Structure 1
Amino acid sequence: MTTTAVLITGTSSGIGRAAAEHLSRRADLTVYATARRTEAIADLASAGARVLPLDVTDEDSMLAAVKTVEDHHSHVGVLVNAGYGEYGTIEETGLDGVRRQFETNVFGLARMTQLVLPAMRAAGSGRIVNVGSMGGRLVFPVGGYYHASKYAVEAITDALRFETARFGIKVSLIEPGLIRTGFGEVAARTQASSSTPDGPYAALAAANGEQMRASYDSALLSAPPQTVARAIEHAVTARRPRTRYVVTPAAKALVHTRRLFGARTFDAYLKLQYRNAA
């Protein structure tokens, strides 16, 4: 039986891991799960995935991973690009951390895309699924640099979708809302390390931390990663995949509110949410 090769970046945790577990259950897909340290994803092999080392900030590592898949399947049938988030205010966040986040979320995504496209074009088919965020459509305070990386993913995906359509390549963007993975903990930890308790943004950072904890704990506002994995499955397998998949009802409400009512209304909403930080 011929299967479609699916290469997923960042499967050691979160959405990437959920996608690898979910897609590995399909007999028509051969899933390549990747991470910097393969011991972190060794259990995915028992779930049916093939495990590869991949660091999307390292050129040799990216070349080797793509070559491995192409050697077995002639081309990568589907590339799923995931990412991560670090939080902190614009003034206080160290730019080394900002560069590290852009290296993974933007430049790593772009380079992996460049590497798989020649063989996809030669085959006349392929799919690229980029995991963005509702945070690529609207911005919350204390997350500006993370949001900037996701806005960049929006732009890259929109351009790529048009550029590659004539070669039979379909491109989709996944825009999750709050997903109950380790994302919230990483965001809280990086936010705490980037600010000082007696600094000018201390009240805002504390309010943001409380907002994140309450939101991720809410079954109404957040969802499990399997919800995103199902959206990714649709983008991977549907005959006519959507250009965008906004995941969770709360994310859809926020995205449409921001789009319809503009910046002033959204700023007013944020002032209500962060009123204790004023």
Structure 2
Amino acid sequence: MRPINQQVVLVTGASSGIGEATAIRLRQRGFIVYAAARRTARMRHLLGLGIHVLALDVTDDASLKQALQVIMQQQKRLDILINNAGFGTYGAIEEVPLADGRRQFDVNVFGAVRLIQLVLPIMRCQRSGRIINTSSIAAKVYEPLSGWYMGTKHALEGISDSLRTEVAAFGIDVVMIEPGATNSQWAGIAKQALLRDSGSGAYQKLVWEVAAQLDLFAKVGSAPTTIADLMERAATARRPRTRYVGGFGSKTALFARRLLSDRQFDAAVALILGLGYRYYQRRKS
């Protein structure tokens, strides 16, 4: 492995939350860090820390190519890509407009995969590299009104697992970070979408229970620096794990999913949300 102070890292979604904390943490460790996001004004303070700031929209192919061109012109290499850009759309699968569902997949899945496609030729030529994808425990568990978001995380994990076996021969590692509840803007954005699309109508009772849970996540969720710790471990390990799990409730949730059957997990979700298990079942006449 090259010395840390010679390794170049690109972090997407770095204007707040986990991405911002990760960019700062890796710069403190000595990496050459490029922090990228659509909202560059929110990253100006990073310049004072020696972090390079890039405008990047993961759904815009020209923007992706321009960002990589800048990095290659300045550094001639890219050692680590951290695909962190993403957001959560909550709402009943029936009620979320398909355009919003597509937008969710465009950002969380297709944006990340397109950037991977553009980065891989660089890393193959180097015969080394590391791709770190921000997944979630949502890739392993589920709850109502989160299908679009959790669907993106399930998809990203499946793609990442396949990718890992494709690029190993080129000296490229693929790692997934699986956070639990995190204290960031994510929960507020998800709640806003939830209330907008499903705040009235057939799913209203369920909406308010899930909205209360999102409020709780925002209050008791782990600090973004907790997940930045995982990112640092994934970036610096000589032989990284395929997955790193951490954050509020993450290990408990994954243990429960392994232990319980689907029906038992359904019942556990109902209990957590304050609903009777029969809420999920059609009552027999």
TM-score scaled by length of structure 1: 0.94
Point out where structure 2 has 5 or more consecutive residues left out of the alignment: 280-285
1:108 maps to 111
Moved more, 41-50 or 117-126: 41-50
Deviations 1:126-185 (A, max 9, x none): 000000000011111111100000001100110111111110111100000000011111
Contact 1:175 1:246 survives alignment (8 Å): yes
In the alignment, which residue of structure 2 is the partner of 1:85? 88
Stretches of 4+ moved more than 3 A in 1?
Answer: 275-278
Shift of 1:273: 2.1
Percent identity, aligned pairs only? Answer: 41
Residues matched between the structures, number: 273
Residue in structure 2 matching 1:57, options 56, 59, 80: 59
Cα distance in structure 1, aligned partners of 2:38 and 2:219: 29
Partner of 1:146: 149
What is the distance in 1 between the residues matched to 2:88 and 2:49? 27
The equivalent of 2:232 in structure 1 is 233
Q: Give a deviation string over 1:209-237, Cα, whole Å, max 9, x none.
A: 1122224323xxx2111010010011111
| Alpha-carbon distance between aligned partners in 1 of 2:217 and 2:254, rounded to the nearest angstrom | 16
Matched, 1:183 2:196: no
Residues 8 and 215 (structure 1 numbering): CA distance in 2 closer, same or farther, change over 3 Å?
closer
Q: Aligned partners of 2:163, 2:239: CA distance in 1, in Å?
A: 17
Q: Is the 8 A contact 1:57 1:103 kept in 2?
A: yes
Give the superposition deviation at 1:191.
0.6
Q: Is it true that 1:128 corresponds to 2:154 in the alignment?
A: no
> Which piece of structure 1 moves more, 91-100 or 122-131?
91-100
1:121 and 1:91 mapped to 2: Cα distance? 43
Aligned equivalents of 2:180 and 2:49: distance in 1? 27
Moved more, 81-90 or 67-76: 67-76
> What is the match of residue 205 of structure 2?
203
Cα deviation, residue 18, structure 1: 1.1
For the residues of structure 1 that align with 2:132 and 2:125, how far apart are their CA atoms?
A: 19
- The reply on whether 1:41 has 2:43 as its aligned counterpart is yes
Deviation of the 1:249 alpha carbon: 5.8
User: Contact 1:25 / 1:48 at 8 angstroms: preserved in 2?
Assistant: no
SS in 1 for 2:29: coil
Structure 1: runs of 5+ lacking an equivalent: none
Is it true that 1:66 corresponds to 2:65 in the alignment?
Answer: no
Aligned mates of 1:48, 1:85 — CA distance in 2 = 30
Counterpart among 162, 180, 193 of residue 159 in structure 1: 162
CA RMSD of aligned residues (A): 1.4
User: 8 Å contact 2:181–2:248 — kept in the other structure?
Assistant: no
Residue 214 of structure 1: aligned partner: 216
Give TM-score scaled by structure 2 length: 0.92
Give the conservation status (yes or no) of the 8 Å contact 2:199–2:207. no
CA pair 249-207 structure 1, distance change in 2 beyond 3 A: closer
